[in-house]
């Protein structure tokens, strides 16, 4: 790719960001469509200064990752209503409104979960059990509600779980007791399954068999203990790479207004994860 004065700059802000697979995914997408664009990782400590930098450098858009998804909201000109309800922004786009240039915040994390689930099951009228009460669980919960699903929440920390359940308008159950309510969809939104807990599952091995679809937001390893249990039980298993892919697809389409090259983006992620596991 030739970088010149017409190259449009995109990126990801977070701390750390050196491990992020987003640059490989988005740069491959830009190249596939012949766009004169580049996507760069920016390690950011001072969110306010970073937002001024976006304005001054006329950066077209950025992904936002941990720990800045909530902090950036105070520095934006407009926030999408869904992102407002979720209480977190993972995508910023530079937009023109009535002659003014604004930094606008969106959340595509919920789309990252909803899109791959919609390919496997009718979400409207279904019941989904979400494990965890962090930012990912919040985004997924609001996304499933948007899609018309009923949700139930299980977590180990009672205070966080009850607070999120109140925000989502759903029931909360203690995960530590090993009881998992019934449903059609089970989603692990905890870190159990990634290093150093890569040999662990958040639920007993007999639990996945009670569900039709099991999704894990962990993507390294690609097949977690939970997903291995699900596959042995004949469930439809969706790994975290699909969520990462589809939140990125939604970002790309938001920034460019063009259909994203989904299969190319998926292949790049698969290759990156495979190399990372070797």
What parts of the chain have a pLDDT lower than 70? 1, 275-278
**DSSP code for 194:** B
pLDDT in tens, 52-83: 999 999 999 999 998 899 999 999 999 999 99
Which residues, in sequence order, are bridge partners of residue 9? 38
Instruction: Please report the domains of the chain, with CATH numbers, ordered by start residue.
Output: 8-107+242-277 (3.40.50.10860), 110-238 (3.40.50.720)
Q: Cα–Cα–Cα angle for 190, 194, 199, nearest 5°?
A: 110
CA gap 203, 78 in Å, rounded: 40
pTM of the prediction? 0.87
Task: Indicate the pairing of strand 150-155 with strand 171-174.
Answer: parallel
pLDDT of residue 37: 97
Contacts of 75 (CB under 8 A, 6+ apart): 47, 48, 51, 103
Ramachandran class of 181: left when φ > 0, alpha when ψ lies in -120 to 50, beta otherwise: beta
The rounded Cα 272 to chain-centroid distance in angstroms is 17
pLDDT of residue 275: 65
The rounded Cα 93 to chain-centroid distance in angstroms is 17
Q: Which residues are catalytic?
A: 69
pLDDT of residue 277: 55
**DSSP code for 134:** S
Residue 269 burial by Cβ neighbours in a 10 Å radius (0-12, 13-18, 19+): buried
pLDDT of residue 22: 94
Contacts of 52 (CB under 8 A, 6+ apart): none
pLDDT of residue 7: 95
And the tokens for 32?
């596939």
Residue 259 burial by Cβ neighbours in a 10 Å radius (0-12, 13-18, 19+): exposed
């Amino acid at each position: 790719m030739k970088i010149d004065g017409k190259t449009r700059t995109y990126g990801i802000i977070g701390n750390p960001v050196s491990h992020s697979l987003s640059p490989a995914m988005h740069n491959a997408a830009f190249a596939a469509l012949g766009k004169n664009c580049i996507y760069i990782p920016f390690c950011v400590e001072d969110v306010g200064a970073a937002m001024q930098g976006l304005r001054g450098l006329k950066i077209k858009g950025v992904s936002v990752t941990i720990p800045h998804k909530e902090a950036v909201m105070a520095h934006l000109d407009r926030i999408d209503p869904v992102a407002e309800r979720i209480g977190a922004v993972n995508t910023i786009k530079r937009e023109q409104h009535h002659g003014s240039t604004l930094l606008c915040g969106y959340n595509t994390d919920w789309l990252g979960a909803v899109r791959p689930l919609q390919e496997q099951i009718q979400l409207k009228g279904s019941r989904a059990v979400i494990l965890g009460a962090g930012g990912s669980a919040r985004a997924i919960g609001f996304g499933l509600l948007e899609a018309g699903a009923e949700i139930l929440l299980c977590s180990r920390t009672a205070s966080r779980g009850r607070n999120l359940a109140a925000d989502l308008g759903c029931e909360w159950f203690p995960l530590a007791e090993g009881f998992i309510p019934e449903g059609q969809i089970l989603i692990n939104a905890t870190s159990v399954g990634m290093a150093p807990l890569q040999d662990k599952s958040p639920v007993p091995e007999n639990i996945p068999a009670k569900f039709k679809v099991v999704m894990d937001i962990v993507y390294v390893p690609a097949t977690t203990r939970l997903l291995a249990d699900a596959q042995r039980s004949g469930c439809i298993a969706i790994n975290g790479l699909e969520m990462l892919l589809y939140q990125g697809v939604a970002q790309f389409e938001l920034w460019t207004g063009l259909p994203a090259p989904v299969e190319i983006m998926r292949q790049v992620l698969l290759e990156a994860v495979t190399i990372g596991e070797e």
